[in-house]
Structure 1
């Protein structure tokens, strides 16, 4: 899980696989395995990347 989350950069859009009702969030920071994401329905959440693999959203 760590490897995929390591590619996430500020500004990227992601979805939490276990919390789809949070909506599509925007990565704020990714430092030492802690990813801060601002979700429209849950606010700012800090994710431990060793426990959760966030799903990147690519929209055209």
Structure 2
């Protein structure tokens, strides 16, 4: 699923719900940089964690 992520998309980290909503900043060679509401900018190894896309921010 991570291969479908693009900059600007909203995501959540499945193991860190307290980080809040995140916006994808970049996706390069399996490394995904996301700016989370409560945690700030984090680089995630897309081979180890599958981020959850968020399409409805009202839910």
Both proteins in one fold, TM over 0.5: yes
Tell me the TM-score range normalised by the shorter chain.
Answer: over 0.9
RMSD (CA atoms)? 0.9
Q: Give the whole-Å Cα distance in 1 for the aligned partners of 2:36 and 2:55.
A: 16
2:2 counterpart SS class: helix
Point out where structure 2 has 5 or more consecutive residues left out of the alignment: none
Q: Does 2:32 correspond to 1:35?
A: yes
Which of 48, 56, 59 lines up with 1:51 in the alignment?
48
Point out where structure 1 has 5 or more consecutive residues left out of the alignment: none
Q: CA deviation at 1:10?
A: 0.2
- Give the total of aligned pairs: 57
Name the TM-score, length of structure 2 as normaliser: 0.93
Q: Which runs of 4+ in 1 moved over 6 A?
A: none
